[in-house]
């Protein structure tokens, strides 16, 4: 596998923060733009989180005909108030809920007060119903805000679990998942009601592991969201469709896949359209592997290279690479924090969850096929593999554009925009 410039967004340090003058580079082709080129009607409902400091960054200028949802990474699930602290500038506060067409960028005032999974489900159903008589195929991108923090849910969704889960945060998270599950079911029912279901493929996927601070749990995997341990990067999902081959329905695929593979898999594997890209495609088409229970064509996976400390100024950067069964992790990630621990559920009565490695450790090597829980570090015993993977990481890093992580801009303050988060340049 040759190395093209795979780290080319400049976003390797972390997600775009609320007040940053940054967004997905305008010369990148989104999946919505690519699908529009082959005749699809494209709509987005939910979380954008790709930057919004200029109008050209907004979803309806990046391939979506309509957008209903939030620009930012998190906010209150009822009020849609998003607070952001800028050191020495105080707290910026504003509403983050929007209703877009290509010609209009309006706050969605009528949605405030409605619980986000229910609100977004309803908007997704509206998109489907409006589209039902169209001759175009439909691409609906539905990134729910749940179960992302803050952990909030109406009481009725917690009721089924109140006698099973004693921890209040876990109970609330279970309620959020209950509401999300209901929403996916309601969207599916609407596809059936409109006659679109029989020709639809539903893809459901997570984007990262659970955050232990917000009641998430990845047990028995090691680590949490924002780490390169399996608890942070291993995701699950499903594909549901009447179009799937009958022998594959209800089966589990263990084909190796990276999130970037969805782009190529959808466009090549499902749509079969020609892709006019301005830059190389990172992903691989794994559709046949998923639907035939065969092995994945992917043999290598770059989890990331972040030369800036993600956690604390005293710490070095971090990186992780998977090659076949081997996974290399670099970075002084355990010295001051609990990001290297395991987090068993409270009801398990398991107490020994701390790593045995020293807290100042900077190199780990695991055989993930044999040790998916990452309990047996082999770095000192397999120096040859460490060296080979280090060289591979260096080759990747040599192609990278510098991280683009500008400081927050006080001009983003919603008070300059009627109390609403929106473009400010």
Q: What is the pLDDT of residues 364-394, one digit of tens each?
A: 999 999 999 999 999 999 999 999 999 999 8
| All residues at 6 or more sequence positions from 283 whose CB lies less than 8 Å from its CB, including other chains | 258, 260, 261, 262, 263, 264, 265
Structural domain boundaries enclosing 60: 13-201+241-298+404-425
What pLDDT was estimated at residue 311? Answer: 45
What total of structural domains would you count in the chain?
Answer: 1
Within-domain flag for 384: no
What pLDDT was estimated at residue 309? Answer: 58
What pLDDT was estimated at residue 146? Answer: 93
Within-domain flag for 135: yes
The enclosing H or E element of 176 equals helix 168-193
What pLDDT was estimated at residue 316? Answer: 58
Q: What predicted TM-score, i.e. pTM, was given to this entire model?
A: 0.92
Within-domain flag for 393: no
CB 373 within 8 A of CB 220: yes
CATH number, residue 80: 3.40.720.10
Within-domain flag for 327: no
Q: What is the DSSP letter of 212?
A: G
CB 40 within 8 A of CB 139: yes
**Parallel, antiparallel or unpaired: strands 41-47 and 138-141:** parallel
What pLDDT was estimated at residue 31? Answer: 93
Within-domain flag for 222: no
| All residues at 6 or more sequence positions from 100 whose CB lies less than 8 Å from its CB, including other chains | 58, 59, 60, 64, 66, 67, 68, 106
Within-domain flag for 20: yes
**Cis peptide bond upstream of 220, omega within 30:** yes
Within-domain flag for 186: yes
What pLDDT was estimated at residue 35? Answer: 93
Which of the residues in the chain have pLDDT under 50?
A: 1-4, 310-315
Within-domain flag for 318: no
Whole-number Å distance between alpha carbons of 117 and 171: 17
The enclosing H or E element of 323 equals strand 318-323
CA 413 to chain centre: 26
């Amino acid at each position: 596998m040759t190395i093209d410039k795979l780290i080319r967004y400049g976003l390797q340090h972390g997600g775009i923060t609320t007040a940053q003058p940054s967004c997905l580079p305008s010369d990148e082709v989104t999946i919505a733009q690519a699908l529009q080129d082959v005749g699809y009607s494209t709509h987005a409902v939910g979380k954008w989180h790709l930057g919004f400091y200029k109008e050209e960054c907004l979803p309806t200028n990046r391939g979506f005909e309509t957008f209903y949802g939030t620009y930012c990474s998190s906010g209150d699930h009822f009020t849609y108030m998003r607070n952001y602290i800028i050191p020495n500038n105080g707290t910026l506060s504003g509403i983050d809920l929007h209703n877009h067409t290509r010609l209009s960028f309006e706050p969605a005032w009528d949605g405030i007060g409605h619980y986000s999974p229910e609100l977004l489900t309803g908007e997704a159903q509206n998109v489907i119903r409006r589209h039902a008589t169209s001759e175009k195929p439909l691409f609906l991108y539905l990134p729910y805000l749940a179960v992302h923090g803050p952990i909030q849910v109406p009481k009725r969704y917690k009721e089924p679990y109140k006698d099973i889960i004693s921890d209040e945060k876990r109970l609330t998270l279970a309620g959020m998942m209950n509401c999300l599950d209901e929403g996916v079911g309601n969207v599916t029912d609407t596809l059936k009601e409109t006659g679109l279901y029989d020709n639809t493929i539903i893809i459901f996927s997570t984007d990262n592991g659970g955050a232990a601070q917000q009641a998430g749990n990845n047990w028995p995997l090691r680590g949490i969201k924002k780490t390169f341990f399996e608890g942070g990067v291993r995701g699950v999902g499903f594909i549901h469709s009447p179009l799937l081959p009958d022998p594959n329905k209800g089966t589990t695929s263990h084909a190796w896949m990276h999130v970037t593979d969805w782009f190529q898999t959808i466009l090549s594997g499902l749509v079969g359209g020609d892709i006019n890209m301005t830059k190389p495609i990172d992903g691989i088409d794994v559709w046949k592997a998923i639907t035939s229970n065969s092995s994945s064509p992917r043999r290598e996976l770059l989890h990331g290279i972040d030369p800036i400390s993600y956690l604390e100024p005293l710490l070095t950067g971090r990186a992780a690479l998977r090659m076949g069964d081997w996974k290399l992790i670099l970075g002084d990630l355990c010295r001051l924090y609990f990001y290297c621990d395991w987090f068993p559920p409270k009801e398990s009565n398991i107490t020994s969850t701390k790593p045995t490695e020293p807290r100042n450790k900077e190199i780990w090597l695991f055989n993930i096929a044999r040790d998916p829980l990452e309990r047996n570090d082999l770095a000192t015993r397999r120096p040859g593999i460490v060296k080979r993977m280090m060289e591979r990481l260096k080759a990747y890093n040599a192609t990278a554009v510098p991280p683009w992580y500008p400081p927050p801009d006080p001009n983003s303050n919603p008070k300059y925009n009627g109390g609403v988060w929106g473009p400010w340049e």
